[in-house]
């Protein structure tokens, strides 16, 4: 299986347009100490011809242009055979609306994420320009499903929450946020858990089967936004398990067999600074920080 990291930052990207924090200033300095990153999305393929995206970020057009494998091979064509959504957050869905140039799309999502994106959304009508413009394929929790073109996926409920724009509008559900196990034929599995509030027996069992794991690296610490004066919410209120400290995810992630990468990294996270003590702690634990353009062959 081929894996291409299209974007590795959390919502807002890095640097974030309205942020002048120390990290973002470093990111604007031509990346001596911190590499700019677009919002989280990866592409996977069994054969290198047909690709599936995990998440459709607001920066999807630039991400496709930066990845030649995703370029059209005919006057009207796309190697993108499907798009899988981990949840309904804007940083994961907004890109769908950018793919409105009358191209048939296949989108895999749980019923909760599908409904959250399409109901009462007048902008969704831009993807209803002709019958069959979007084919939604339901992801069922815990059941392996074929994607076609040699890939299989299992969606696993990931402790999470409703997207910010749906909070208070509907009841939370285990389908609001998922992670994926993906395999090509009988090859090794990719585990993808880019947004996760903490562990569950299902998540632990899934990750135990994965040879490579991408994991929620949004925040280093719980009070990262508050301490920097950039917000009031703690990491846990946003359903992101922080990396650092005795309760952090690093000891768990560092025990994951094979290779592990933090992804969905927020612009405030000190691991973005390549020579920071926090980045060193992550690397010393055997974990890497995903970056845009990273290519892996499983």
Return residues touching ligand MLT (CB under 6 A): 10-11, 89-91, 164, 195, 238
Residue 131 C-beta: closest distance to ligand MLT, Å = 31
Closest CA to 243 of 209, 204, 293, 277: 277
Closest CA to 49 of 138, 149, 166, 126: 149
Residue 189 C-beta: closest distance to Zn ion, Å = 34
Nearer to Mn ion, 91 or 175 (CB): 91
Helices within the chain (DSSP H only)? 22-27, 60-65, 90-98, 111-118, 201-207, 224-227, 250-255, 277-284
Residue 138 C-beta: closest distance to Mn ion, Å = 23
Quote the CA–CA distance of 217 and 240 in Å, as a whole number. 8
Q: Are 239 and 197 within 8 A, CB to CB? A: yes
Nearer to Zn ion, 154 or 267 (CB): 267
Nearer to ligand MLT, 161 or 183 (CB): 161
- Residue 21 touches Zn ion, criterion: CB under 5 A: yes
Instruction: Write the binding mask 89 to 108 for Mn ion: x where contact by CB under 5 A, - elsewhere.
Output: x-x-----------------
3 state SS of 260: strand
Give the one residue of 11, 13, 88, 179 binding Mn ion; rule: CB under 5 A. 11
DSSP 8-state assignment for residue 177: B
Torsion-angle region of 244 (φ positive above 0: left; ψ -120 to 50: alpha; else: beta): beta
Q: Are 27 and 70 within 8 A, CB to CB? A: no
- Residue 19 touches Zn ion, criterion: CB under 5 A: yes
- Residue 267 touches Zn ion, criterion: CB under 5 A: yes
Instruction: Write the binding mask 45 to 84 for Mn ion: x where contact by CB under 5 A, - elsewhere.
Output: ----------------------------------------
Closest CA to 188 of 298, 277, 26, 42: 298
- Residue 24 touches Zn ion, criterion: CB under 5 A: yes
Residues that bind Mn ion (CB under 5 A): 10-11, 89, 91
């Amino acid at each position: 299986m081929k894996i291409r990291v299209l974007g590795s930052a959390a919502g807002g990207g890095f640097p974030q347009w309205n942020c002048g924090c120390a990290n973002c200033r470093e990111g604007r300095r031509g990346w001596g100490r911190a590499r700019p990153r677009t919002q989280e999305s990866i592409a996977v393929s069994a054969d290198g011809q047909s690709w599936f995206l995990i998440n459709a970020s607001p920066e999807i057009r630039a991400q496709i242009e930066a990845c030649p494998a995703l370029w059209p091979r005919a006057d009207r064509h796309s190697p993108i055979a499907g798009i899988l959504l981990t949840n309904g957050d804007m940083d994961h869905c907004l890109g769908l609306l950018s793919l409105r140039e009358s191209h048939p799309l296949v989108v895999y999502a749980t019923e909760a994420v599908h409904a959250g994106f399409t109901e009462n959304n007048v902008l969704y009508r831009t993807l209803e320009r002709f019958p069959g413009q979007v084919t939604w394929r339901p992801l069922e929790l815990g059941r392996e499903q074929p994607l076609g073109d040699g890939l299989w996926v299992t969606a696993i409920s990931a402790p999470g929450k409703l997207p910010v724009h749906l909070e208070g509008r509907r009841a939370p559900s285990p389908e609001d946020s998922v992670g994926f196990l993906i395999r090509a034929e009988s090859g090794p599995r990719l585990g993808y858990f880019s947004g996760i509030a903490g562990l569950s027996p299902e998540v632990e069992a899934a990750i135990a089967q994965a040879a490579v794991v991408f994991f929620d690296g949004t925040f280093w610490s719980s009070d990262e936004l508050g301490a920097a004066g950039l917000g009031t919410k703690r990491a846990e209120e946003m359903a992101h398990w922080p990396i650092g400290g005795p309760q952090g995810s690093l000891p768990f992630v560092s025990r994951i067999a094979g290779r592990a990468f933090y992804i969905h990294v927020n612009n405030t996270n000190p691991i973005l600074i390549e020579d920071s003590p926090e980045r060193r702690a992550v690397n010393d634990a055997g974990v890497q920080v995903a970056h845009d353009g990273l290519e892996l062959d499983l």
